[in-house]
Structure 1
């Protein structure tokens, strides 16, 4: 499994399983178990997903040593104390530490929750801390006051949301970008350009989209609760997209290669 070395020295797998919208209980447990069986070693959940307990159960029952699994959860910014909420997450997950703890979105501004995130590191609750849905401007504002710098910014990213300006800003700050919704929750799987490239490479449209993000240097967390798709999404390390295919996919961007994490209309918080 290829990894990216984070600024805190830990190794982040470039491909993992996201469990957004996976139902707590059997659905999440099976998805995580299938992913781990297929070779995934990065599992991404969040307090807001309400399925941390199921993620933790599947990890424990997998028989895979905890140290071999990179586990991420996210602070729900409607709460008040990131450290206290991290302790609750650890209890639900049934683990002693997180590998990564993210602020899920910058509700209330990009800096107020960061001291509590740093306290989670100081308390040994997590190895690293980061952010999600932060724009380049919000990242810069946070960087001015942070004692511990974020290691990851998790954002919506695909050829159709090719946030090149944001990636450049993150890389300049030593922050690795992680792509969620790389398949556009399924809506990006059609279209003549993608179909042509998929056919030419002998791979599926989903594999092409994931491979594109991997070749951009990102970590990618596609979500699925179907075993065949979980296995399919992981099978992207036996081919490369050539320069022409990458350029054709780049051209699908609808954001103007923005440095924003979401459009103004796409923000679900006030």
Structure 2
């Protein structure tokens, strides 16, 4: 089964692929264009970018030149919350992307509190700029605060998630609020690929460490967006739908958690906003 054939239904009725490409730290221009091209060629149908990544134009160019119909691609970008108006910034993102609409528009982080940007996000939906809106790097407490005032509820919370950052409490809170969790940096930006538990499970299953880490997150019910700009790794990362990790392997990976299965999205020391 290919990545594009597995989805989760969001609370707004749209289908979110459970696997896609993230382009954080991919350089604008040829590097991003190639990565998106290779991903779409390999069957990816979810592409995730952000205003803060400064590569939206390259993502849009690659999508237009791919030959894949726009309505077959789930396109996400994120509002940089030091901007003044989320709706206006959505229009600017669409101009850079050369697209008519977004499938998902996220508040990138909860700077200045979890609620202030939301009226502009809702206005982006009302204006037809995006089908759905959501959040990123929001804790369970911040999600609950937003939920009390939102006219349109968030459909996704995109967070740092891997066996080493197993935010089980946050996933539980999101699922209770009908919010799908999406995992970014599931490979720990490469740091987790040579861990002894991960490599042993990879050897035992005949798969790569990256595939094991992605498969673990998929079996937790998440959507997963690993980043790569290398064609062989983009193809490799997609090879996660022909096997399952058994209960023993899942438990071993669960035990790698360093967060105490937190309901927070970030540790205090790792927050980059005030």
Shared fold by TM > 0.5?
A: yes
Which of 83, 104, 110 is the equivalent residue of 1:106? 110
In the aligned structure 1, how far is the partner of 2:7 from the partner of 2:206? 25
Shift of 1:191: 1.7
Which of 107, 124, 129 is the equivalent residue of 2:128? 124
Give the aligned partner of residue 15 of structure 2.
11
Give the aligned partner of residue 100 of structure 2.
96
Q: CA RMSD in A?
A: 0.3
Q: Number of aligned residue pairs: give it.
A: 270
In the aligned structure 2, how far is the partner of 1:209 from the partner of 1:105? 24
Give the aligned partner of residue 63 of structure 2.
59
Give the aligned partner of residue 271 of structure 2.
267
Shift of 1:195: 1.1
TM-score by length of 1: 1.00
In the aligned structure 2, how far is the partner of 1:191 from the partner of 1:147? 44
Structure 1 segment 22-171 matched on structure 2, within 5 A: 22-171=26-175
CA-to-partner distance for each residue in 1:161-198, whole Å, 9 max, x for gaps? 00000000000000000000000000011121111100
CA-to-partner distance for each residue in 1:36-78, whole Å, 9 max, x for gaps? 0000000000000000000000000001100000000000001
TM-score by length of 2: 0.98
Runs (5+) with no aligned partner, structure 1: none
CA-to-partner distance for each residue in 1:2-31, whole Å, 9 max, x for gaps? 100000000000000000000000000000
Structure 1: 4+ residue segments shifted above 6 A: none
3-state DSSP class of the match of 2:178?
Answer: coil
In the aligned structure 2, how far is the partner of 1:107 from the partner of 1:192? 37
3-state DSSP class of the match of 2:24?
Answer: coil
In the aligned structure 1, how far is the partner of 2:70 from the partner of 2:220? 29
Give the aligned partner of residue 249 of structure 2.
245
In the aligned structure 2, how far is the partner of 1:262 from the partner of 1:232? 29
CA-to-partner distance for each residue in 1:195-230, whole Å, 9 max, x for gaps? 110001000000000000000000000000000000
3-state DSSP class of the match of 1:101?
Answer: strand
In the aligned structure 1, how far is the partner of 2:135 from the partner of 2:144? 12
